Amino acid sequence: MKKTSGRLADGREIVYYDLHDDAVRTTADRRPMPAMEAHAQARHDPLLDEWVGVTAHRNARTYHPPADECPLCPSRDGRMSEIPESDYDVAVFENRFPSFHGAPGPPQADGPAGLFRQMPGAGRCEVVSFTSDHRASFADLDEEQARLVLDVWTDRTAELSHVPGVEQVYCFENRGEEIGVTLSHPHGQIYGYPFTTPRTARMLRSLAEHAAGPGGNLFESVVAAERAAGERIVLEGEHWIAFVPHAARWPYEVHLHPTSRVPDLLGLSEPARAEFPGIYLELLRRFDRLFGEPAARTPYIAAWHQAPFGTDPGPRLASREEFALHLELFTIRRAPGKLKFLAGSESGMDVFINDVPPEAAAERLREVAS
């Protein structure tokens, strides 16, 4: 993998990752662009003990451009995009409309008894374009290309972990307009959060409680229990195991774990890295076969869960070394032509109601194997 860093016209960084060492990346971005203006803020909810991002500048972000104006396609035939080169393998650049951006600062208290806290929404948000082919999907990549993306996720996790103010790094892909995607080019994003996310904090809290009670690592206990039950296992390799969780929230939801627990992408062994592309591509292709609609790809979210990089987890939370890297892949489609909407129970009370029994979902995902 060859890594080449450059700058876009407004000062944002762009990084090219190439499969071959002889790739040369020298094309300058000559677009007349003003400097990026992003005013991100984080506000604390005292009742839920959660941080919420406030980002008014994102209202102006690019929304469903036509294919010939795609900002993630290479710059060709006089049309300049966010990626100045005429071709590329994988390109990563700072998001022009970031959810988190800028230098960190201490929380400031306001309101009666300092109840309302806020702080700069520090951090970094990046766009990862998986391929220069606008018509492709991640599932269309070959194993060499998928391995390159894994290496990119790992490298960006390492880089963002050193950005001042970043507490947690989150690599993810949204696919499909039904999910809310506004750019159809195959791409993902990486967020460097200025706090530990609520979902991860809950996992760390459960880890600590389990260690203080029954003992042992809760992630390892869950994986062992799923393997023993067997009925929700979707596929298993030497270094990875994929299963529908016992209490799946989404109609079709798969959790992919390395069989040797590590806290983040940086900890993966080379054998696990080598096996990942085949396992992951097979999962994605099974998702696309679920509903028998070859012309309509299944919408999904693929989310890497990694341990926060903060050194002090607090008295109620487990340490980062106890966390288990894993990928959660799920779709909001529950049947052909039918979507799972987050309505009153899910959105109002955080109580998910799943119409598809996890065992039935796992069986269906086994049926559509290659």
Compute the distance between CA of residue 7 and CA of residue 122 in angstroms, rounded to an integer: 21
Distance CA 212, CA 218 (A): 11
Query: Which residues have CB under 8 Å from 365's CB, separation 6+?
Result: 234, 244, 252, 254, 286, 287, 290
Alpha-carbon distance 354 to 292, whole Å?
A: 21
Contact (CB, 8 A) for 49 and 115? no
C-alpha dist (Å) from residue 349 to 79, 102, 354: 47, 33, 14
Q: Return the sign of the alpha-carbon dihedral for residues 309, 311, 314, 318.
A: positive
The CA distance from 302 to 154, in Å, is 15
Residues in the chain: 370
Residue 13's SS3 state is strand
Angle between helix 198-212 and 218-229 (nearest 10): 90
Q: Which amino acid is located at 236 in the chain?
A: E
Distance CA 8, CA 32 (A): 10
Q: What positions carry a catalytic annotation?
A: 187
Q: Tell me whether residue 305 is annotated as binding.
A: no
DSSP one-letter string for 155-170: HHHHHHTTSTT--EEE
Annotated ligand binding at 125? The verdict is no
Sign of CA dihedral 179, 246, 228, 363: negative
Q: Taking the CA of residue 84 as centre, how many other CA atoms within 13 Å lie in the half-sphere pointing to its CB?
A: 21
Question: How many Å apart are CA 122 and CA 21, to the nearest integer?
Answer: 34
Q: Cα(131)–Cα(138) distance, rounded to whole angstroms?
A: 8
* Residue ranges at the known binding site: 70, 73, 134, 185
Residue numbers belonging to the annotated binding site for Zn(2+): 70, 73, 134, 185
